[in-house]
Structure 1
Amino acid sequence: MASTRAVPNLAFRRLRGRRSPGEFAAAVRRAAREIGEQVACDARYIGRVEAGEIRCPNYAYERVFLHMFPGLTLADLGFSARESVRGRASRATADARTAPAAPANPTPAPTPTYGDPGDISEESDVRRRAFMTGGTASVAAVASLGIGIGIGAAPAAAVPGPRRVGEAEVSALEEAVRRIRLLDDRHGADGLYRRAAQPLRTAYALLDAGTATRGTTADRLHASAGELAISVGWLAHDSGRFDDARSHYAEALATARVAGDPALEAHAFCNTSFLARDAGRHREAVRAAQAGRRAARDLGSPRLLSLLALREAGGWAGLADRTACEQSLGQAHSLFERGPSDSDPEWMSFFGEPELQALEAQCRAALGDWSTAARHAYRATVLLDPHFTRNLALYRAELAVDLARSGSLDEASAAGHRVLDLMDEVQSSRIQGMLAGMVRVLLPRRRTADVGAFLDRHASTAATAHRV
Structure 2
Amino acid sequence: MDEIPGWALRLRAERRERLWSQRQMARALTEAADESTRAHLPTRESLIRMIKDWEKGRHQPKDPYRVLYCRAFDLPEAELFDLANKTARKSPAQVLAAFMPEGDPLSRLPAGTGRRVGMGTVQDLAARVHGLRLADDVIAGSDLIRPAFRELDAAVRLYRCGTHTEEAGRALLVNIGELAQIVGWIASDAGQHDQATQTYQLGISAAREAGDGSLEANLLGSLAYQIANVGDAQESVALTRAALDAAGRHASPRIRALTWDRLAWAHARAGEAQPAIRALGEASAALASTAGAEEPSYLYWVSPDELQVMEARAYTELRRPLRAVPLLTEVLTRYDATHVREVALYLSWLSVALADANEPEAAAHTASRMLDMSADLSSDRTTQRARVVLARLKPYADVPEVRELLTRYPMSA
Quote the offset at 1:154 in angstroms: 7.5
Correspondence for 2:149 among 191, 194, 197: 197
Query: Quick check: 2:217–2:246 contact (8 Å CA) kept in 1?
Result: yes
TM-score by length of structure 2 reads 0.69
Matched-pair contact (CA < 8 Å) for 2:159–2:169: no
3-state DSSP class of the match of 2:187?
A: helix
Q: Which residue of 2 aligns with 1:376?
A: 327
1:252 positional shift: 0.6
Say if 1:280 and 1:318, in contact at 8 Å, map to a contact too: no
SS of structure 1 residue aligned to 2:345 = helix
Give matches, 1:12-91, under 5 Å: none
1:153 to 96, 99, 104: 99
In the aligned structure 2, how far is the partner of 1:354 from the partner of 1:428? 22
- Superposed counterparts of 1:402-421, under 5 Å: 402-421=353-372
Q: Determine the C-alpha separation between the residues in 2 that align with 1:459 and 1:169.
A: 51
Name the CA shift for 1:204/1:426 in 2 (closer, same or farther; >3 Å).
same
Match of 2:389? 438
Aligned pair partner of 2:297 in 341, 346, 352: 346
Q: Which amino acid aligns with 1:289?
A: T
Cα distance in 1 between the residues matched to 2:398 and 2:277: 39
Instruction: State the shift of 1:404 in Å.
Output: 2.3
CA distance in 2 between counterparts of 1:441 and 1:154 reads: 41
How far did 1:244 drift?
1.2
1:360-418 residue CA offsets vs partner (Å, 9 max, x unmatched): 12222232223323333223312322232222222112211222233221111111122
**3-state SS, counterpart of residue 187 of structure 1:** coil
- In structure 2, the partner of 1:165 is 117
Contact residue 380 and residue 395 of structure 1 kept, 8 A: no
Residues 1:395 and 2:331 aligned together: no
Structure 1, unpaired ranges of 5+: 1-133, 137-148, 464-468
CA distance, structure 1, for counterparts of residue 123 and residue 292 of structure 2: 24
TM-superposed CA distance for 1:300, in Å, is 4.8
Secondary structure class of the residue paired with 1:191: helix
Judge conservation of contact 1:354–1:381 (CA < 8 Å) in 2: no
Matched-pair contact (CA < 8 Å) for 2:243–2:259: yes
- Contact kept, 8 Å, 1:173 with 1:199, in 2: the verdict is no
Question: Is 1:209 aligned to 2:161, yes or no?
Answer: yes
The answer as to 2:240 corresponding to 1:281 is no
Matching residue's letter, 1:163: R
> Contact between 1:301 and 1:341, CA under 8 Å: does it hold in 2?
no
Deviations for 1:417-438, whole angstroms, at most 9, x for unmatched residues? 2223422563321112111111
What TM-score results when the alignment is normalised by the length of structure 1?
A: 0.61
Q: Distance in 2 between matches of 1:452 and 1:377?
A: 25
> What CA distance in whole angstroms lies between the structure 2 residues aligned with 1:151 and 1:221?
22
Give the distance between the partners of 2:115 and 2:175, measured in 1 at CA.
Answer: 18
3-state SS, counterpart of residue 212 of structure 1? coil
1:223, distance to aligned residue in structure 2 (A):
0.9
Contact 1:184 1:390 in 2 (8 A): no
Q: Deviations over 1:253-303 (max 9, x none)?
A: 111111111122121112122112112322222222222222323555222
Q: Which amino acid aligns with 2:99?
A: A
1: distance between equivalents of 2:317 and 2:125? 38
Shift of 1:340: 4.8
CA–CA separation in structure 2 for the residues paired with 1:455 and 1:341: 50
Q: Which residue number in structure 1 is paired with residue 263 of structure 2?
A: 312
Q: After superposition, give the CA deviation of every residue in 1:96-142 in whole Å (9 maximum; x if it has no partner).
A: xxxxxxxxxxxxxxxxxxxxxxxxxxxxxxxxxxxxxx999xxxxxx
Q: Report if aligned partners of 1:240, 1:430 keep a CA contact under 8 Å in 2.
A: yes
Any conservation in 1 of the 2:177–2:203 contact (CA below 8 Å)?
yes
Match of 1:356 among 291, 307, 310: 307
Greater CA deviation, 363-372 or 177-186?
A: 363-372
* Structure 2, unpaired ranges of 5+: 1-72, 76-94, 103-108
Output one character per residue of 1:329-375: Cα deviation in whole Å (capped at 9) or x when no partner: 22112222224544222111222122111211222223222332333
| Fraction of identical pairs, as percent | 28
Report the more deviating stretch, 253-262 or 337-346. 337-346
Q: Could you say which residue in structure 1 is the equivalent of 2:279?
A: 328
Q: Distance in 1 between matches of 2:237 and 2:251?
A: 22
Distance 1:348 1:154, change over 3 A: closer
Task: Give the stretch that moved more between structures: 195-204 or 281-290.
Answer: 281-290
Aligned to 2:66: none
Aligned residues, how many? Answer: 314
Aligned runs of 1:114-129 on 2, under 5 Å? Answer: none
Partners of 1:154 and 1:377 lie apart in 2 by 40
State the distance in 1 between where 2:290 and 2:365 align: 34
CA distance in 1, matches of 2:323, 2:265: 15
Amino acid at match of 2:227: A
2:183 alignment partner in structure 1: 232
Structure 2 counterpart of 1:252, one-letter code: G
SS at match of 1:247: helix
Q: SS where residue 422 of structure 1 aligns?
A: helix
Change (3 A) 1:424 1:322: closer
Cα 1:395–1:313 shift into 2, 3 Å: same
Aligned Cα root-mean-square deviation (Å) = 2.9
Structure 2 match to 1:15: none
